[in-house]
Amino acid sequence: MDTLVEYLQSEFAALTPEELHLLASGMQERTVEQYQSLCRRGEDSESFAVIKSGRVGLLDSDGRTMVTLTAGNVLGARDFFTNAPAQMTARAESPPVTFWEMTTETFADLLEAQPRLGVHFAHSLGSTDSSTRLTEHLRRRLHRLPAFSGLGTDVLTMVAAALSPMELQLGDTLYRSGEQPSGLYLAVEGSLSRMTDSQPPILIEDGALLGGENLASDIPYNHTVVAEEPTLCWELSRNDFHRINQVHPVLQRALNRPAIPARPDTVAAPVPTTGDFSLASVRELAALPDHVLKAVSQVVATRAVSAGQVVYQPGEPSSEFYVVHSGEIELSSPSDIGVNQELSRAAVQDVFGLDSLQAQTPRTKQATATVDTELLVLPRIYLLRLAEQFPEINTLLAPDTESHSTKPAEESPTPATGLRAESDLGDLHGFSVFWGLTGQELARIQTELQPVVFYPQEQLFTRGDIVTALYLLQEGKVLLEAEDGQIRYLEPTSAIGLDSLLSQAPVTEHAFASTEIRVVLIPRERVWQLATEIPRFDENLRSLAQQETSAPPVPVVQQQPATPPPTWPGAADSPPAQPSPTIPSGPATGPSLAEPPSGLPPAHSPQSSSQPAEPVNPFGPGPAPVVEQDPFLADSKSSRRDDQGFGGMSVAGKIRAILTAVLVVYLVGWTAFSLIQDLVPDLF
């Protein structure tokens, strides 16, 4: 052991004696015979070695020995730490060769036990960039934080790669009260004190996240943080935070909103309890393993409902299910004479609303609290995300074909049609921006979706902002307030801020969550990429943008009899057809949304003169649905006018109306002049 520690010290001078002994304790001795390879060029670097005895040759691409390593030399440490492929082939040149080996799994365990080891290891190798081994270690730590537990792997990896180490000594100040936020800090080893003028110091142990709300809200610190002992922190700078948030806007939302408790990577804990009973005692959850129940318990929300309050009604979407924590719920259905007829009641520990969620069908029953009741709410969107880590949850989300005679009656389950992928793809079909896309294209888009929850009165964006993501409203209502005070609401399946996203022009309205809302968003850079890959998606984006910047057209899917053009002022509701405006294409790096995507057929293909013209199907290939108007447009009208005649029109609408009127007057005058000329030729 002492010999190995001596060899390691000569190679890793930045490590402390304690860290050297820790590193040596994790290395295993191995032996290979002459001409056997220790590693091969181009292979993944899953370990590094310290030669104990014998000779090892490093071979070039032609198999010639370039360098010979002997006892005390280290092989492949840099490639291993940066997770780069092996640069050379190493072969035993003498019989035998003995060496000590450090594997990936052991190194990860050592970093958990001694976080400073990774920092000093990087310093010894002269590595200033965040290495992949260290990045993965930090990503796992971030994942365990409540604020970050709901973020995807790509977001956490980007954050972890941008972190830089800060080593504080006793009495050092991390930041002071009144200072502007300079970064986000993750304390991984040591302890800190949080001090304010009005309260005694609060001890902060390692594993805490500091400064997140201040950074996300851009407000000064209201407390001072001082090191109580040598402490290691990782810092995400203000500039890196804003850079990452441009790509993943969910980062700021995660720091600003109440956190979902962390979903641990390893769970070996007692069965979780919620209030007065264990989740394992709930019939529908009893089959889940203890570690999965623990993960589920961490995304459970509570909701209090008063006696007589309706939890949901027939026709509402099935986005969550419920466990009765206290009180009682009546499940009823309208009878033939229009009176609600009681079907069953859900008592404490009973589940309701699960069948329709499994089948992904609207509610067919009404759920009403008979007394003051407290519910445990399990949102489907969070369960789907947990299912990526714990596949056992899929059995809960899939339709159950077994009959439970003792559970409250809800909707009858339908046969299973698939789990996460298919149910999510079905959800996407409700958005007009995805109309006409194939299942494969929807699956590609699904990989870019980022779910976010906004609470009542929270702001999505404010007037003057430039929208950096495509917001798609799944549940709830969004309030839009214009500069003149006019207010309108957006309903589910709406695309929010699309005009600003495509044109990169500031928005002209404030956007607030009128109720608790659920949205999925796609960052702007990903929107450009998807528009390049999927022409139909590009076409739908341009079509929706045209609807935002002009009077909404009625999609014609059936032949309509010819009607005379309307006259003003009634024409404000049905303007004459005009050329579609050009939508700015955004930065040069994105796809051009101003031009039709290559390879697409023209909007109106010429027909044979012997055949009647076929109606255009704006919903893509396949049978055309018989609709008179996009239901979203029918509910929310237009984002640019209020349909109250000429005075309520936008500037562009007024200009079109005036030009149309001038053209009509010109045509009438010219026709009259021609008639007079023909009837009374002597006058001319």
My answer on whether 145 and 229 are in the same domain is yes
- Structural domain includes residue 275: no
Question: C-alpha angle 467/468/472, rounded to 5°?
Answer: 80
Number of domains observed in the structure of the chain:
5
**Distance between CA 258 and CA 271 in Å, rounded?**
24
- Structural domain includes residue 497: yes
**Distance between CA 92 and CA 73 in Å, rounded?**
14
Cβ neighbours for 393, distance < 8 A, ≥ 6 positions apart: 288, 292, 296, 383, 386, 387
Question: Any idea which of 99-103, 220-224, 668-672 has the lowest mean pLDDT?
Answer: 668-672
Please tell me the total number of residues recorded for the chain in this structure: 684
Kindly indicate the confidence band of residue 502, based on its pLDDT and cuts at 50, 70 and 90.
Answer: confident
To the nearest 10°, report the CA torsion of 253, 255, 259, 265: 100
**Would the pLDDT of 458 be above 70?**
yes
16: closest CA among 230, 275, 270, 285? 230
My answer on whether 476 and 498 are in the same domain is yes
**Distance between CA 249 and CA 253 in Å, rounded?**
7
User: For 11-31, what is the mean pLDDT?
Assistant: 90
My answer on whether 666 and 634 are in the same domain is no
Strand-pairing partners, residue 158, are none
**Distance between CA 471 and CA 449 in Å, rounded?**
10
**Distance between CA 80 and CA 117 in Å, rounded?**
15
From 96, 123, 150, the end of a domain falls on 123
Residue range of the domain that includes 139: 129-256
My answer on whether 84 and 190 are in the same domain is no
What is the model's pLDDT at position 682?
A: 59
Question: Any idea which of 252-256, 430-434, 560-564 has the lowest mean pLDDT?
Answer: 560-564
My answer on whether 169 and 299 are in the same domain is no
User: For 437-463, what is the mean pLDDT?
Assistant: 80
My answer on whether 444 and 590 are in the same domain is yes
Residue for token digits 């594997």? 103
- Structural domain includes residue 280: no
Handedness of CA 550, 596, 557, 427 (dihedral sign): negative
At 414-436, the pLDDT tens digits run: 332 222 333 334 466 678 888 88
- Structural domain includes residue 343: yes
Kindly indicate the confidence band of residue 111, based on its pLDDT and cuts at 50, 70 and 90.
Answer: confident
My answer on whether 313 and 357 are in the same domain is yes
Cα distances from 573 to residues 464, 547, 553, in angstroms, run 29, 14, 10
- Structural domain includes residue 277: no
- Structural domain includes residue 47: yes
What is the model's pLDDT at position 256?
A: 65
Of 388 and 45, the one with more pLDDT: 45
My answer on whether 547 and 485 are in the same domain is yes
User: For 239-249, what is the mean pLDDT?
Assistant: 86
**Would the pLDDT of 269 be above 50?**
no
Prediction pTM value = 0.43
**Distance between CA 547 and CA 291 in Å, rounded?**
49
**Would the pLDDT of 551 be above 70?**
no
Kindly indicate the confidence band of residue 599, based on its pLDDT and cuts at 50, 70 and 90.
Answer: very low
**Would the pLDDT of 581 be above 90?**
no
DSSP E strands, 335-445? 340-346, 351-352, 366-369, 373-379
**Distance between CA 633 and CA 646 in Å, rounded?**
20
The one-letter amino acid at 440: Q
Question: Any idea which of 6-20, 125-139, 213-227 has the lowest mean pLDDT?
Answer: 125-139
- Distance, C-alpha 252 to centroid of its chain: 12
My answer on whether 367 and 478 are in the same domain is no
Look at phi and psi of residue 441 and say left if phi exceeds 0, alpha if psi is from -120 to 50, else beta.
alpha
At 146-171, the pLDDT tens digits run: 778 767 777 888 898 899 889 999 99
My answer on whether 312 and 225 are in the same domain is no
Residue 258, preceding bond cis, omega within 30 degrees? no
How many CA within 13 A on the CB side of residue 135?
Answer: 19
Cα distances from 379 to residues 240, 383, 458, in angstroms, run 32, 6, 20
What is the model's pLDDT at position 237?
A: 93
What is the model's pLDDT at position 449?
A: 84
Enter the tokens of residue 657.
């109306």
Kindly indicate the confidence band of residue 57, based on its pLDDT and cuts at 50, 70 and 90.
Answer: very high
- Structural domain includes residue 279: no
**Would the pLDDT of 561 be above 70?**
no
At 321-351, the pLDDT tens digits run: 999 999 999 888 876 655 567 788 899 989 9
CATH number at residue 75: 2.60.120.10
From 69, 103, 123, the end of a domain falls on 123
- Structural domain includes residue 250: yes
My answer on whether 383 and 494 are in the same domain is no
My answer on whether 504 and 577 are in the same domain is yes
